[in-house]
Amino acid sequence: MSGMDYAGKHVVVTGGASGVGAALLEVLAELGQPRVTVLDLRQPTGPHDTFIETNLADETALEGAISRIEGPVDALFNNAGVADTMPRDVVIAVNLLAPIRLTRALVPMMPVGGAVAITGSIAGMSWAKRLAVIQELLNLDGRKAMVDWFEGRDLGLDTYSFTKEVMQVWTMREAQTLRAHGIRINNVCPTPIDTPLVGDFRKTVGEAGMDFTIAHSGGRMVSGREVASVLAFLASPAASFVSGQSIDIDNGFRGAIITGTLDTSSVRASAGRE
């Protein structure tokens, strides 16, 4: 497709060894085979050039990985994520602190036209309810201040969903800063994706919540490839005037909730969520 040619570019992908990230490596290979650097705990099997073994939850490991990334970087895909089956500090570090730090570190290596794409989640759809508190967090300066902010704090919802809410708000805020450098940033919000991680969500969200979402988004999970295609579009010149957006990949699920066609109160109550 015109504008979606990645030939000759250098892209950085986190979480490229599985699920959405693995599908993204395949999609990028079809879109011109860019030079691909992957940051993950595990070696990816899909097409890539450089693998930097990285635990994104570990600040020192992340800084070490950043020092090994060679610019220029045309696109950054902040895709890796973990569910609440992991400890709270790991969820915060992988889903929130790492993408923010990685973006800040790589933007100076990006030419005009560069782009950042984030894999968020439909779980972050209620960000507006917590906008003030999310802004308070994002106004803090540095990783330590953010980690301290979370200490002992009741977020009012599960940590995973909160991190995905924060990434939506951060995407809107960051778009303003990055525009001055000719760089765009966007986020995607899928319903359950057919990847290994979905098993973790069945444990944390519960079977009822997962089945409800799947039933009301077309009766199936979205595939990793369907998510990867939207990510590839958003970070390409085909989306050259799109920035600060969170794009639902949900087959109309959230629209049905907003317009009242779908009442989620019973399933949210059964899952102990607001």
Ligand X SMILES: NC(=O)c1ccc[n+]([C@@H]2O[C@H](COP(=O)([O-])OP(=O)(O)OC[C@H]3O[C@@H](n4cnc5c(N)ncnc54)[C@H](O)[C@@H]3O)[C@@H](O)[C@H]2O)c1
Among 77, 170, 201, 233, binds ligand X (CB under 6 A): 201
Q: Going residue by residue from 50 to 89, which x/- string records binding to ligand X, judged by CB under 6 A?
A: ----xxxx---------------------xxxx-------
- For residue 226, the minimal CB distance to ligand X (Å) is 12
Q: Going residue by residue from 208 to 237, which x/- string records binding to ligand X, judged by CB under 6 A?
A: ----------------x-------------
- SS3 letters for 145-171? HHHHHHCCCCCCCCHHHHHHHHHHHHH
Residue 244 three-state SS: coil
Residues between 102 and 121 with contacts to ligand X, criterion CB under 6 A: 119, 121
Cα 169 to chain centroid distance, Å, stands at 12
Per-residue CA distances from 209 to 9, 138, 213, 215, 263 (Å): 40, 29, 6, 10, 12
Residue 187 binds to ligand X (criterion: CB under 6 A): no
- For residue 272, the minimal CB distance to ligand X (Å) is 19
Residue 192 binds to ligand X (criterion: CB under 6 A): yes
Are 103 and 76 contacting, i.e. CB atoms less than 8 angstroms apart?
yes
Q: Which is nearer to ligand X, 68 or 181 (CB)?
A: 68
Q: What share of the chain is helix, strand, coil (3-state, %, to 5)?
A: 45, 15, 40
Residue 243 binds to ligand X (criterion: CB under 6 A): no
Structure tokens at 179: 């525009």
**What CA–CA distance (Å, rounded) separates 33 from 18?**
19
Residue 170 binds to ligand X (criterion: CB under 6 A): no
Residue 94 binds to ligand X (criterion: CB under 6 A): yes
**Total residues contacting ligand X (rule CB under 6 A)?**
29
On the 0-12 / 13-18 / 19+ scale of CB atoms within 10 A, 223 is middle
Residues between 10 and 39 with contacts to ligand X, criterion CB under 6 A: 15, 17-21
Are 262 and 122 contacting, i.e. CB atoms less than 8 angstroms apart?
no
Residues that bind ligand X (CB under 6 A): 15, 17-21, 40-42, 54-57, 79-82, 94, 119, 121, 190, 192-193, 195-198, 201, 224
